[in-house]
Amino acid sequence: MKGRKPVPVAPDVPEALAGDIDAFISFLELERGLSRLTCQGYQSDLRQCAAFLARRGARNWAAVTGAQAGAWLHSLSGDEYTVASLARKLTALRGFARHLVREKIRDDVFTDLLAGPKLTRRIPGTLTPQEVERLLQAPAGGDAYALRDRALLELFYSSGLRVSELAGLTLQQVDLEQGYLRVFGKGAKERVVPVGTKAADAIATWLASGRPHFVKPRTGSQLFLSERGSALSRVTLWYIVKQAARRAGITRNVKPHLLRHSFATHLLNGGADLRAIQEMLGHANIGTTQIYTAVETKRLLSQHTKYHPRGK
């Protein structure tokens, strides 16, 4: 797979087990279009499983039983894994088991009877509109760095992008005249996301007066640039958000994804349709978007408790 560093084969994983895993990962990346990070996570999980099975005598996937796979998952329950991590490992194994059937390596899906951990979704935290306003105004001044950071934060909140999507944006994806951008999200799926007027103005100012200061001979078409003239890394984006939150006087832990959560919650509070929010966020399942209705419900209950004469 071009561009993806292979995960080293552990010495206790037979090549027969590792080879089928690598073929599955190639299928996910090349045929299904899953992200590199997702593929690397699945590959690591499956090789961990393979090492466990190999220590118990397994030499190929055709002979692995559901009981053996269940023993692997059970062995992890006492380790320092979150419920979400355990659920991801089971998801990887289930997908791999179906792949083995498609490739006629097995006749049965050996994970069918495996039960995963109960995964409860946490209600995402959000910033208040007042906090967002302070955050967006935090990059003060007219230098190139301030222009970049203001445009970046405005677009982040205006469009609800993922960090990876924001970091990978190119000039060709942005249409300021029409007020939208095209994003290639998870699974290489394209979606159209609106760009608000204030974000569009900030980006236009950045392009005219800020970006030229970062351009180097080998600079490509990335929208936001580092001082080396290359695309911003996820770490740099994280730092920009953290610095803006500190300057804005926001004391709680502000992570980049909090702007995406705030984008969705504020839209819902303003009366936006849940399906429209789903499309803008790039959620494949409406159930993922519905978590934001829980945020609004929690807010309403809090208001009732605080202000109703018999709410307490």
Positions marked active-site = 162, 186, 257, 260, 283, 292
Listed in sequence order, the residues at least 6 apart from 99 whose beta carbon sits closer than 8 Å to its beta carbon are 24, 27
- Rounded Cα distance between 43 and 8, Å, is 10
* Alpha-carbon distance values, 154 to 101, 104, 127, 248, 280 (Å): 47, 51, 14, 14, 16
Q: How many residues would you count in the chain?
A: 312
How many alpha carbons lie under 13 Å from residue 264 in its C-beta half-sphere? 31
Phi, psi of 293 (to 5 degrees): -70, -30
Sign of the CA dihedral running 5, 240, 254, 157:
negative
- Rounded Cα distance between 164 and 301, Å, is 34
Q: Beta partners for 222?
A: 170
Listed in sequence order, the residues at least 6 apart from 232 whose beta carbon sits closer than 8 Å to its beta carbon are 152, 167, 222, 224, 225, 226, 240
As a 3-state breakdown, the chain gives helix, strand, coil percent values, each rounded to 5, of: 60, 5, 35
